[in-house]
Structure 1
């Protein structure tokens, strides 16, 4: 391999007769005067006699061809492999044309690739095109992972990418961007496994009910179990909001998340809500006020002056009168709107539990997965993230003031579909607290990992604070443009984004100081949603067929005229209610598939075993 063509201080062209260059391949240029500069391949090309000689655009131009001929390459006969190489550090003068180019030893590029040992960082994947370095790789960096390519599982060949989690104190927060099927959720799973390995307290919001780590992935029998390192909770069943701990502003945010509030509704909350209100006391006050406003003050007073009411009725109308005296000027429609929103949250189970299970899990160094519908997670996240962040902040502030505070550990907040929690252009329940963490969280040891298919829809303040970005395949032009603006991806890398394979990713990180191309390692666990839905449909259909055939067995051979006679018994045995016409259609279908035999006789059509 040799340098050819016109060179600059930061880019050169390299040619070879035998070696086919790969994207992101690392090379050393043996220019002694510049202390052997290093670089990586950013563009590749192969040139041979079948390409018209008038071809002079792109990577191959007249100067490159001329240099190749001077170096002894036969342009008309040889196949020549060419690469554009960008130097990692700009040289003080142009590279000498003709110098030999070789692959580096690991020690020559160690500081560019590995910042921390595997035991102290997140082992995310393998740096692409580094298998040339495998012979010089230290033992502690070998055999750390398995990878899947072209449907085949293979062992690690190249240099591992180990994310330095400690460096997040200086360069906080991670963004994970990628379209559907790009491997984004898979990459997020790998990160969460690594966080569990290091026992870093992590709070995960899981709108897709897929963050289970109990089932091991295929080919990963020897990996450690995560069963004891994570805890799954569901909103309404295991965790909820302690209503009595909410401020008036918190109540506003929660009800706003249930459905948007008008100014009049906000005024109702601010007027009616009292400090330390329980859900029951607040909802009773709102409900009674709504009933009182419907009746009207005159009717309530008239009922109190009339005799013949029971003690309970007198007490109820007295309550109505007090509420009307205090809040009678509030509009009925707004009060009813608040009542409906409260009822919706209560029906979802939001106020039936507290967040103690989450606090305990984080204090034990576990990963806590919170599951629920997206709208409910939006509501709950505003409360729980704010509460936990305040606990951590209070402890750190007390420590700085040399006061005694209750310890609460540093923790990570992770969410998929992050644009639903912190959208650009409009408010959302958790947006304000997440923005505060994005801007100030590193001082208190609270960090974000945000995954989204649509980085363009994510709040710009938060996007700007994500110092490390994992960029998977992205097709939409606006998202690619946003990624280019927020990272140091080159023009060539930006053009590659729509064509990345699933599981391939660019990592743009202030910690590493440059963009790197990776292959995400094979996850140790697997999602419960990995079964193909069409396979699932086929399995269920086959299961249903087997159940029906078993129910039919004692009635075979079964004449068409007898279907009506036995339909109730067949329904009972199969566990499914059958109509006569539907059962006949199913018998015909089973006959067509060969699971039953259908015979037409002069007297009737008969179904029997095949």
Structure 2
């Protein structure tokens, strides 16, 4: 326990104080403490034991240094004379937001009594802050306080049951933040499935300098055959398996979804179903090309004119949409290969776009939801969805959006928890985003994205929201059930290697220049050895 006499005094409370905020005056020769600094004040709260002394933690939101004499309307020459004479009267004060106090049970409580004006304000001791932002063994350390690098900040693993959104502008550090979270979850024994549309997480099993992570044997990369990720399987230290779906494993309803065939298109649906029934009975395993071939035959031989026309239309749609898709292979990757206890499965979907991406995401998520909700898989699962605005878009209905919203509303009962990651929160379905009651918000400058965050993050103050454009790379606001109070953090550096890092433009240009010079040199007709001396 700390002693007040050993703490730095920053000022005294002045003016009107409420249970949620107050203003305190400071020594003008020193000035107010920096923004986001943590402070404490002594107060008294009524408990079951009567009135007890508590130390209320608050955060500086608005430090102010002002002059009673030098005003914006003061003539400039007068300003110079006053400054030279040294007769200015300066004041310093700060506005603080109350965060609460730690009760005996370790929970944070908001004061019910107003802080008394005249009370001394102290710089909060690091030991108290460490208690405030730690949850013991049931926590994951994400970084440290921006104003106190010596104070680690952790989040509650239990709090993640309310789902999480990681939101940031491009380049603000969301991939690093997600990797730090994933590494922390792996230390706790989590099962994690990552839908990775850009191959950003394929190096999770190895360190920045290429050494194996301690859990490398618990990482599997599922690579689709058409992957456009900037890596080869030989570069991966973790297990690499192929991710495919066998075309003949698809049900007619799956095809109707992929082909956008509504229920009103009765004849087209009937033609496809009839063709599939024939292929299943006569071939067992078949491809999209086989389906097109059978539909073309039906378009010529069916006696029913409506069915002939429907088969022709269906064949063309299958040909345009499904032939050549990279996700189709000789077998379907089973869910029990993806879901394993204490394991992270990265599903590399780079190169898979549009309806193929929507279908693949839907199938993976549906299989996981069925496996966990039916009791086939008995452990908690964390679903990390990169580019979430493509999976749960705000402006249109998708098949993946339906299953994500089912998981968001029902999944936590079974132990399925979402981590939505996006650089465009304004393009995420508002209902999906609002069900993520935890947010990690990094720098964000787009007004529409800020408004989306404001609507979703009920516990973020307007002051914190206004600070979002001013956050540096790697700085974030944490808010939600997984932290006792909203807190601004410097996210620590990930230990695993990044897979989708931007290229070094300067180095690539330098290499291009060197290569061009060498090629140019080789194109010149060089004299033979005996010609050098002929001048």
TM tier, smaller: 0.7 to 0.9
- Counterpart CA distance in 1 for 2:165 and 2:441 is 8
Could you tell me which residue of structure 1 aligns to residue 493 of structure 2?
522
1:105 aligned to 2:109?
no
1:12 aligned to 2:22?
yes
Q: Residues 236 and 281 (structure 1 numbering): CA distance in 2 closer, same or farther, change over 3 Å?
A: closer
- SS of the equivalent of 2:165 reads strand
- The CA deviation at 1:205 is 1.5
Could you tell me which residue of structure 2 aligns to residue 504 of structure 1?
475
Deviates further, 488-497 or 245-254: 245-254
Q: Match for 2:38 among 20, 23, 26? A: 26
The structure with the greater share of residues assigned to strand is 2
- Counterpart CA distance in 1 for 2:122 and 2:415 is 43
1:289 aligned to 2:309?
no
Q: Residues 384 and 35 (structure 1 numbering): CA distance in 2 closer, same or farther, change over 3 Å?
A: closer
Q: Residues 478 and 97 (structure 1 numbering): CA distance in 2 closer, same or farther, change over 3 Å?
A: same
1:545 aligned to 2:504?
no
Q: Residues 36 and 7 (structure 1 numbering): CA distance in 2 closer, same or farther, change over 3 Å?
A: farther
Deviates further, 95-104 or 475-484: 95-104
Q: Which protein has the larger Cα radius of gyration, Structure 1 or Structure 2?
A: 1
TM-score normalised over the length of structure 1: 0.69
8 A contact 2:191–2:340 mirrored in 1: yes
Superposed CA offset, 1:324-375 (max 9, x none) = 6994362523332123323133xx242333214x633531522111112241
Q: Residues 37 and 166 (structure 1 numbering): CA distance in 2 closer, same or farther, change over 3 Å?
A: closer
- Counterpart CA distance in 2 for 1:214 and 1:389 is 26
Q: How does 1:131-170 map to 2 (within 5 A)?
A: 131=148, 157-169=149-161
Superposed CA offset, 1:492-549 (max 9, x none) = 1111111211111111112324321111001112324254123223223324534664
8 A contact 1:21–1:81 mirrored in 2: no
- Counterpart CA distance in 2 for 1:437 and 1:174 is 13
Could you tell me which residue of structure 1 aligns to residue 224 of structure 2?
235
8 A contact 1:505–1:519 mirrored in 2: yes
Q: Residues 76 and 448 (structure 1 numbering): CA distance in 2 closer, same or farther, change over 3 Å?
A: farther
- The CA deviation at 1:15 is 2.8
- Counterpart CA distance in 2 for 1:76 and 1:217 is 58
Q: How does 1:294-373 map to 2 (within 5 A)?
A: 296=300, 320=301, 327-328=307-308, 330=310, 332-345=312-325, 348-356=326-334, 359-371=336-348, 372-373=350-351
1:216 aligned to 2:207?
yes
Q: How does 1:73-84 map to 2 (within 5 A)?
A: 77=88, 80-84=91-95
Could you tell me which residue of structure 2 aligns to residue 88 of structure 1?
99
- The CA deviation at 1:107 is 5.3
- SS of the equivalent of 2:319 reads helix
Q: Residues 324 and 409 (structure 1 numbering): CA distance in 2 closer, same or farther, change over 3 Å?
A: farther
- SS of the equivalent of 1:427 reads coil
1:128 aligned to 2:146?
yes
Q: Residues 161 and 269 (structure 1 numbering): CA distance in 2 closer, same or farther, change over 3 Å?
A: farther
Deviates further, 240-249 or 502-511: 240-249
Q: Residues 190 and 42 (structure 1 numbering): CA distance in 2 closer, same or farther, change over 3 Å?
A: same
Q: Residues 331 and 509 (structure 1 numbering): CA distance in 2 closer, same or farther, change over 3 Å?
A: same
- The CA deviation at 1:283 is 4.8
How many residues are paired up? 470
- Counterpart CA distance in 2 for 1:190 and 1:276 is 48
- The CA deviation at 1:91 is 4.0
- SS of the equivalent of 2:257 reads helix
Could you tell me which residue of structure 1 aligns to residue 163 of structure 2?
173
- Counterpart CA distance in 2 for 1:101 and 1:456 is 40
8 A contact 1:252–1:266 mirrored in 2: yes
- Counterpart CA distance in 2 for 1:51 and 1:279 is 85
- Counterpart CA distance in 2 for 1:275 and 1:25 is 72
Q: Match for 1:3 among 12, 19, 23? A: 12
TM-score normalised over the length of structure 2: 0.77
- Counterpart CA distance in 2 for 1:275 and 1:204 is 37
Q: Residues 19 and 525 (structure 1 numbering): CA distance in 2 closer, same or farther, change over 3 Å?
A: farther
8 A contact 2:245–2:327 mirrored in 1: no
Stretches of structure 2 lacking an aligned partner (at least 5 in a row): 1-9, 46-52, 75-85, 101-109, 227-241
- Counterpart CA distance in 2 for 1:254 and 1:490 is 43
Could you tell me which residue of structure 1 aligns to residue 233 of structure 2?
none
8 A contact 1:236–1:352 mirrored in 2: no
- Counterpart CA distance in 1 for 2:443 and 2:412 is 29
8 A contact 1:205–1:377 mirrored in 2: no
Superposed CA offset, 1:448-485 (max 9, x none) = 11111111111122111101111111111111111111
- The CA deviation at 1:242 is 3.5
8 A contact 2:23–2:95 mirrored in 1: yes
- Counterpart CA distance in 2 for 1:485 and 1:520 is 24
- Counterpart CA distance in 1 for 2:128 and 2:44 is 15
8 A contact 2:247–2:288 mirrored in 1: no
The structure with the greater share of residues assigned to helix is 1
8 A contact 1:424–1:460 mirrored in 2: yes
Stretches of structure 1 lacking an aligned partner (at least 5 in a row): 56-74, 132-156, 297-319, 396-405, 563-602
